[in-house]
Chains A and B, each alone.
Chain A
Amino acid sequence: MNSLKRYLPAALRISLGAIFIYAALPKIADPAAFAGSVAGYKVLPYFWNYLAAAVLPYLELVCGVLLVCGYRVKAAALIVAALNVAFMAALVSAIVRGLDIDCGCFRQGGPKTSPWIALGRDAVFLAMAGLVLWLERKRENGLVARR
């Protein structure tokens, strides 16, 4: 129990970071395909699909690396949470409009991931980010108290 308490925050933080690094890499490798996935949601005007496809993966990568390293965790986890909220909003809008698209979350192309599964997955990631934030705040408070 004690060791769980000690290692859970780090394990949670590192897995969330790893997931985001893992999600970022295929998009960085093929930005055009990711732009196609973004365009599939039909929420952005033409050029903005490309801009989002160019910037989003790097944001995911940087946040993932920061989470894994445990550096500036609060900021990174907040961004990850915001990203997941945005992803979920996009997925919900795709479901509502009945768009038959691939979520484009991880690998680009290949078999389609149902938006419902993607939504559930994002909810889990959001919960993880929330938990990381909560644990981080607890840790900071502990540090302050000890000081």
Chain B
Amino acid sequence: MLKNSRLGTVAEIALIVLISAAAGIFWNRTQLADAWRGEPAQRIEAAPQAEALPMPIGLAQVKEMHDAGQAVLVDARGLDSFIKEHISGAIPLPVDEARNHPASLLHAMIPVDSIIIAYCNGFSCPDSMNLGKLLIKAGYSSVFTFEGGLPEWRDAGYPVAGNER
């Protein structure tokens, strides 16, 4: 008798779990199918804070646009680092300062329709991404981040400027 009732409870639990799983999977079938295909990867991040992110861009493209004068390179690091060394032709725009500038001042410094490439000290440094987000918020539409940053540029033997040359 006792054994029977225990077996019954187990069966009930299994049934409840099965029904719930079926309902949940059925109800979310499109989303689950998307997730299975690996599609909504950015939806997870986009959910809490829907903001536009700057596009990453590689060394070769940065060099090309730099040489053609198509893009404005902005240095997101502090001013000290900029004075020491920076990509030649880049303009300093430390992210902490940019945060305090009104959009109009930024627009006076950099035309709003220009292509912007933000960089800082390489892969582990968040400043270029933060500056890129900030510039997008300030109304710039073509903002890229060069994640390799100054180290990759310098190591490739491309032109740099600054005191430590």
Contact = CB atoms under 8 A, between A and B. Distances in A.
Contacts, number: 78
A47 B25 CA distance: 13
Interface residues of B, number: 24
Instruction: Tell me the dominant secondary structure on chain B's binding face.
Output: helix
Contacts of A31: 28, 31
B38 A58 contact: no
A109 B17 CA distance: 27
A76 B13 CA distance: 7
Contacts of A18: none
A46 to B, nearest CB: 7
Interface residues of A, number: 31
A36 interface: yes
Contact of A32 (B13, B38, B44): B44
Contacts of A46: 35, 38
Interface in B1-52: 9, 12-13, 16-17, 19-21, 23-25, 27-28, 31-32, 35-36, 38, 40, 43-45, 47-48
27 contacts: A30-B47, A31-B31, A32-B40, A32-B47, A35-B35, A47-B35, A47-B36, A49-B44, A50-B28, A50-B35, A51-B32, A53-B28, A54-B25, A54-B32, A57-B24, A58-B20, A58-B27, A59-B16, A59-B17, A62-B19, A62-B23, A63-B16, A66-B16, A72-B16, A75-B12, A78-B13, A109-B48
Interface of B: 9, 12-13, 16-17, 19-21, 23-25, 27-28, 31-32, 35-36, 38, 40, 43-45, 47-48
Interface of A: 28, 30-33, 35-36, 39, 46-47, 49-51, 53-59, 61-63, 66, 72, 74-76, 78-79, 109
